[in-house]
Amino acid sequence: MQRRALGGGLRPKAWLAVLVGVYVLLGCLYALRTPLWQNPDEPAHYNYVRQLSTGGGVPVLQAGDYH
């Protein structure tokens, strides 16, 4: 007895590949369509990395740091 493949022909691994491909495509489109420095938390990410790179250690985050 044979099992029917999902979707009338695609194997489960093929469905996974399609799903991952769509996810990557949507992520790339989001990254390309969002203007630089316009993500809500982008300045906080920059400041975090800047403090790490200058030897300041891991910053202590307070409520409201990402707004």
Query: How high is the pLDDT of residue 8?
Result: 61
**What is this structure's pTM?**
0.51
For 15-31, b where at least 16 C-beta lie within 10 A, e where not — what string? eeeeeeeeeeeeeeeee
What are the pLDDT digits (tens) for 43-66? 888 888 999 999 888 888 777 766
Domain ranges of the chain: 6-53
What are the pLDDT digits (tens) for 3-37? 655 556 778 899 999 999 999 999 999 989 988 88
Query: How high is the pLDDT of residue 25?
Result: 98
